[in-house]
Amino acid sequence: MLLRTTLSLGLVAGVFMTLLLLIMVHQPYQPSTFFQGHSLTQPDDLQGGISINKIHMYRDEKQFRMSTRQEEVTISSFCAPQKKFVFIKTHKTGTCTVINIFQRYAIYNKLKVLMPVSQGLLSWPFPPEEADYIHTPDEKYDALMHHFVNNKTWLLTKFPPEIPYITILREPFHHLKSQMNYYHLPMLLGIEDSKDAVKNFLKDPWKYRNKSEVFFNHVNVTWDGTRNPLTFDLGWPAEKADNQEEASAYITQLDKEFTLVMILKYLDESFVLLRRLMCWEVKDVVYYSRIENRRHYPYKRYEATLEELDNHRRWSAVDYMLYDTFNKSLWRKIAAQGPDFYDELEYFRRIKAEVSHHCKEMMNGNKNETLVVNASRWSPEFEVDYTYCSYIYSTRVHGLDEVMRGRKNTKKELNYKAVEIVQNLLLIHKGLPTFKNIHDAHAAGVVGFRTHKMHIRDIHKN
């Protein structure tokens, strides 16, 4: 009887241990990544014995939580950081903030960036010529991030076809207001009352078409700063503004080609999604949180009437089609991430605020110590030192370009700086031809270009 009882208990124990082992084999736990990136005391089972309590912990790994300051790192071992990318830097969409992320990533990871020889644009609105960019010895590049009209044919000559493509868009009406101000469009359109420029324009955009469409003779390209400028930067010709069927097919193709199209209105969500899709770390996508864009103009806060918005949606129909497509795409990709995306979003916003405050104090000379950001479920521990703060705090694209380049531009290189859109628009308004770069303008006897800004009174022809 005793022997039978002993055998029965042994059998039950054997079955129980077999079930435990089967549970362990089929759990998604990956010890090599669960404790990756920071020091933790090894649990008992990793040091020898197997504990039933620890098995339950493995089974519930996805629900495992610690304090917000000591959250575990659970980075998937199947996620390798993407260290090659093309960022199409669109105009007036917050890209000075966004490019800071890509510049820092390139600096810290020593990427070979396809950079302009001079400051500013890589090229616009044409593919760069051989003399326009810095060549690597093997003509191979890891990244592109400066202003460039999307041209897949040219990009395939420099980057592999599977490289991630990224860009950012802005809601078209707010984009119009920014465009109107930055490019002096009321002056170009002949709208006298600049205070109500947007309102006056949206009463009847079609009557301004002959003035809003401008021709850049140096590249034989037409551009309209009020009509579909976002889609233009992504490669859609201004002349096809009314061909919505063909534009729809083009946008569908862009949706297949782009890994991520960020939305300025949802910048935090976009950066968290960027981190996940690129398998980067939180330190790579944290940005300095400024209170507000400091550029003020009379109609910045103007709210259009329903009739005006309807006119704009019909006038710039392709841009609205583009924005609606990728706004939906952003939220579809966020939904695919699962509910823990919002846990990371909350964490990201908290870390962004802490880092921004620390860097502001450090750059103003009020702090010297390094901030240590503890490890989280989404990223290993990282340090915010003076160098990191100087990069994230910078508002000058040129400054980090110099870090990537390893030196400042020479005087000769600066003479080949591309002429910006606003400068060519001012030339057109004054009845002068347009130019590719400062050197070409000077060769034609046109002077008055300044390094950062230029006013119409500055330009004259010798």
pLDDT-based confidence at 147, cuts 50/70/90? very high
The length of the chain in residues reads 462
Q: In this predicted structure, what is the pLDDT of residue 36?
A: 31
Percent of the chain with pLDDT over 70: 79
Residue 191 in any domain: the answer is yes
Going 439 to 445 to 446 to 449, the CA torsion angle's sign is positive
Find the angle CA(273)-CA(275)-CA(281) to the nearest 5 degrees: 150
Do 67 and 105 have their domain in common? no
Burial class (CB in 10 A: 0-12, 13-18, 19+), 429: middle
Same domain, 323 and 429: no
Residue 177, domain member (yes or no)? yes
Res. 24 pLDDT band, cuts 50 70 90: very low
- If asked whether residues 162 and 262 sit together in one domain, one would say yes
Residue 339 and residue 242 share a domain: yes
For residue 194, the model assigns a pLDDT of: 76
Its pTM stands at 0.82
Asked whether residue 28 falls in the same domain as residue 172, the answer is no
Residues 306 and 346 in one domain: yes
Distances (CA, A) of 131 to 123, 149, 274: 11, 18, 32
Structural tokens at position 17: 């241990």
pLDDT, tens digit (0-9, with 9 covering 90-100), for 66-107: 333 333 344 444 689 999 999 999 999 999 999 999 999 999
Q: 3-class SS at 166?
A: strand
| E strand or H helix at 4 | helix 2-26
pLDDT, the chain, mean: 83
Confidence of residue 192 (pLDDT cuts 50, 70, 90): confident
Residue 8 lies inside a defined structural domain of this protein: no
Main-chain dihedrals φ then ψ at residue 221, nearest 5 degrees: -130, 140
Quote the domain boundaries for residue 125.
Answer: 85-405
DSSP state of 339: T
Q: What is the C-alpha to C-alpha distance for residues 3 and 68, in angstroms, rounded to an integer? A: 54
Quick one: 72 and 90 in the same domain?
Answer: no
Q: Are 384 and 358 in contact (CB under 8 A)?
A: yes
In a domain, 15, yes or no: no
Least trusted range by pLDDT, from 27-41, 229-243, 259-273, 394-408: 27-41
State the pLDDT confidence band at 274, using cuts at 50, 70 and 90. Answer: very high
Cα separation of 12 and 139, whole Å?
68
User: Within a domain: residue 413?
Assistant: no
Q: How far is CA 375 from CA 69, 97, 170, 227, 382, in A?
A: 8, 25, 33, 46, 7
pLDDT at 298: 86
In a domain, 283, yes or no: yes
Question: Which residues lie across from 376 on neighbouring strands?
Answer: 379
Rounded to 5 degrees, what are φ and ψ at 344? -70, -35
pLDDT at position 458 is: 63
Task: Out of 289-298, 311-320, 326-335, 370-379, pick the least confident.
Answer: 289-298
The confidence score (pLDDT) of residue 437 equals: 92
Q: What is the model's pLDDT at position 26? A: 38
Number of domains, the chain: 3
Q: Are residues 301 and 356 in the same domain?
A: yes
For residue 229, which of 149, 328, 122 has the smallest C-alpha distance? 149
User: Would you state the pLDDT for residue 107?
Assistant: 97
Position 3: which residue type?
L
On whether both 314 and 445 belong to a single domain, the answer is no
Structure confidence at residue 293 (pLDDT)? 60
pLDDT (tens digit, 9 = 90+) per residue, 195-242? 899 999 999 999 999 999 999 999 999 999 999 999 999 999 999 999
Partner residues linked to 116 by β-bridges: 133
CB 103 within 8 A of CB 404: yes
Same domain, 198 and 168: yes
Asked whether residue 138 is assigned to any structural domain, the reply reads yes
pLDDT band at 42, cuts 50/70/90? very low
Q: Which of 378, 405, 432 is the last residue of a domain?
A: 405
Are 252 and 400 part of one and the same domain? yes
- Cα distance between the two ends of the chain: 116
pLDDT for 74 equals: 42
The mean per-residue pLDDT over the stretch 441-457 comes to 70
In a domain, 43, yes or no: no
Judge if 310 and 375 occupy the same domain.
yes
Q: What's the gap between Cα 423 and its chain centre? A: 25
